[in-house]
Amino acid sequence: MLRWVLALVMVVGLNASGHAQPLIHQPAIALVNSAASFLAVAMTGAGFGTPDPGSALLVLDPTGISVVFSQDDCDSHPVPCVVSWEPEVVVVKLPTTIQRGRMYITVGGGALVSEPSRAQYWEYEWQKTPAGPISSNPLAIAVNNNAAPYDDPLHRVWLNDEVHVGFKVLTPGSPISFLPVSAPTPGPFYRGGVQTNVSGNGEDTLVDPYGRVWFNQGGDHLPPLASGNHSRVVLYDPASIAFPRVWNIPGNQTETFGLAYEKDYEPGRDRVWYNARSQTTGVSTILPARIGWFDTDDATLWHDGSLSFDPPASCTAGFCSDNPTRPCAQSSDCAHTDQVCWWNEVGSSSHANCGFVEYPLEPVGSFPHFGGTLTSFLGHMAIGSDGSVWAADYWGQSGLVRLDPVSATVTRYPLGDNAGRGPATPRGAAPWEISIARNGDVVVGEFLDFSASRLDVSQLGPPGACESLIGGANPCVTTIDIPGPLTAVPPSPSPPACTNPEPYVLHSLNLDAYGSTWFTTWGSPRDPKSRATVGFVSPRWNSLSLFPPLSLYPLAPGEAVNNACLDPCFPSQPVAPLLAGIAVDDSTGDTWFADYCRWRLGRLSPIVTNLALARPGVVASMSDPGLCFFGICGTASNAIDGDIDGNWANESVAHSFFTNKPYWQVDLGNSFALEELELWNRTDCCAARLQNFDVFVSDNPFVSTDPAVTAMQPGVLRIHQGPAPGRVFASPINRSGRYIRIQLLGSSDPLQLAEVLVYGVR
């Protein structure tokens, strides 16, 4: 199903501590489509305050529409109207005739917003697993971002349902296809009190460097001593899609949630990393939580999915009979334990068949879990730029775990627990999804604290650095809180159990090619305007963008929903969107996400976007870092960092030297159909310096740095501006272009640019 929606989004800059700075806004975002009867506009920021009736948001261009705040429900008003107005988030509905236009909000002294980028919002109806009434909520998704020859010209999206008997793949333009995988009898998983082939743990999906796709499987979360609850790792190769390979993870109750792929751990050999939860009996720990790996080229481990977990060994005196160092409590704990060893046992005569190598994690305390206790419970994983293995400690210390595979050193970096951001539980912030930034920093989503955090790996050098909290926070971590309400409580709760608040959470995150961190959120199903949405953090981690809540676009009558997601406190209320996995296709710019409860797959496809954002091809008439003073440098790339903040102190202004006719230039990488250019000026002083300048646009490289010569070069568009434009200069382009140059024509002033935005069709 295709739906057209306009969603203009303002974002706000944040300082180093993660607190919002009032009225510093970024380029807007528009979701453009035609089937909806309104256009949804969301502005995310700070300082909006609590408006009085009569406060307004004004669409400055081209229509001049004023949207006046009212205390009434927007659903009872024709558009334009205000859906909600809070200090950090304003949501309005506009007529569908508006597709371009800057916004001005009147509360707090006013704030101007950029011309919006535009994207297309597509919805794909989910298909239930074709083997009976299985809930099959879409959870983990992945796309192929490899370069040729391991890229994917079909741009397929690979899908792992939380509950499944197989996997799925979507080729855009075609129906979702089912990918079967075999299972032994009895089934390898324990779910709903029985042994079954229905996995209840489809938490991860990844595409490896060769374009092959990996999935995890496992059973339910279980009380202590449950037997026959195993985990598997499945590989699909798109070149031979009918022949999946399956690896049975040794042991029982492993709950393998996270996977990571490491290429060339030894020359020509790759391995897959996995994690396993701690195993307990009541209050006693049998096995600690652990991180392990297996070699993808170990032919002795390849097998089809029919291989049983039935243990050939017995549990005798607390250890498996075929592995004298493997603790156990029952025979099912010894499934395939002849193939697993600890890292320091590799090569020993007693572990000749060691195909799975595991590293134990020291317990950090005991936590309640389904009638028993756990000492650690890892979420997702990633391989660091230095070959280290990172995991999110979802249920444990509330932090990040780093494993050095060579020394077997395990280091923990706590994230703390912001009590004001989420409910008090043993999980604390509950870090879940993890990714590695281009500079090696570790990015993680804090599930229950409704926040995104980044660990600066450049500060990890000295022993003990970043391993302790100071004032409840890690000094090496930047945290950005997601704006909006944190919990929702029904206004007239019945029964009494409905008084428990339901949290808003950040579920999944992923990075795009430009370094932006995309994420999905869960709103509360008890909030009629549930804040389940998609957003992203800028590459510099100093600003945040949110799309409008998807609850504004309910399912059509008769569309299927998962009844398990119905809120017992409001049984007649429509199922709220809860967004889960997210993946960005770097070659198309599409962002894909799972709408968990509504059995949908969402796609944000860019139409008109800022093509200059984070482009590597930036040159200027001064060498970086540009002019420096007060310890801050005006690096040329500051003008395409996604931040229109014009205050020099906030380190986002490009600043040339005092030289003759200084210029700034970007190579967009290809020629695109360009619509408009915006230049955002410095704000703390000296705004008049941006005057008497030319903007040049060309499909071919410029042959001279002399503006008179450049203006005469064949195929070059020249746009001249005389007086200083104030906060922002905007001009239509309406032609193709690859190279953009801004050049002052005078000889006395430096060139200062807070941001350059080049809107065009990708």
The whole-angstrom separation of Cα 636 and Cα 758 is 16
As a dihedral over the C-alpha atoms of residue 304, residue 310, residue 315, residue 318, rounded to 10 degrees, the angle is 50
Q: What percent of the chain has pLDDT over 90?
A: 46
Backbone dihedral region for residue 190 (phi beyond 0: left; psi -120 to 50: alpha; all else: beta)? beta
The pLDDT confidence band at residue 87, using thresholds 50, 70 and 90, is confident
User: What confidence tens digit (pLDDT) does each residue in 561-586 have?
Assistant: 777 777 777 777 777 788 999 999 99
User: How far is 523 from 502, CA to CA, in rounded Å?
Assistant: 9
- 173: confidence class by pLDDT, cuts 50, 70, 90: confident
User: What's the rounded mean pLDDT across residues 210-222?
Assistant: 90
Q: How confident is the model at residue 131, as a pLDDT?
A: 46
With a CB cutoff of 8 Å and minimum separation 6, the contacts of 325 are 319, 341, 342, 345, 350
Q: At residue 89, does pLDDT exceed 90?
A: no
Give the separation between CA 176 and CA 156, rounded to whole angstroms.
10
- The answer for residues whose C-beta is within 8 angstroms of residue 173's C-beta and 6 or more apart is none
* Least reliable range by pLDDT among 100-109, 543-552, 660-669: 100-109
Cα–Cα distance, 210 to 301 (Å, whole number): 20
| pLDDT 10s digits, 38-62 | 877 777 766 677 777 767 777 766 6
Residue 296 has pLDDT above 90, yes or no: yes
pLDDT category at 152 given cuts 50, 70, 90 is: very high
| Least trusted range by pLDDT, from 13-27, 171-185, 593-607 | 13-27
Which one, of 411, 399, 409, 410, lies nearest residue 477 by Cα?
Answer: 399
Per-residue model confidence (pLDDT) at position 23? 34
| pLDDT above 70 for 548 | yes
Mean pLDDT of 431-440: 94
Give me 600's structure tokens: 């949908």
Is 376 in contact with 277 (CB distance < 8 Å)? yes
Percent of the chain with pLDDT over 70: 85
Min mean pLDDT across 131-135, 180-184, 375-379, 532-536 is at 131-135
Nearest C-alpha neighbor of 653 from the set 13, 8, 10: 13
Tell me: pLDDT of 67 over 70: yes
Q: What is the pLDDT of residue 63?
A: 67
What is the C-alpha separation between 39 and 92, in angstroms, rounded? Answer: 8
Backbone angles phi, psi at 49, to 5 degrees: 70, -175
Q: pTM value?
A: 0.90
Going by C-alpha positions, the residue among 175, 173, 178, 172 that lies closest to residue 144 is 172
Amino acid, res. 511: L
**pLDDT digits over 355-402, tens only?**
999 999 977 665 555 555 556 789 999 999 999 999 999 877 789 999
Mean pLDDT across the chain: 84
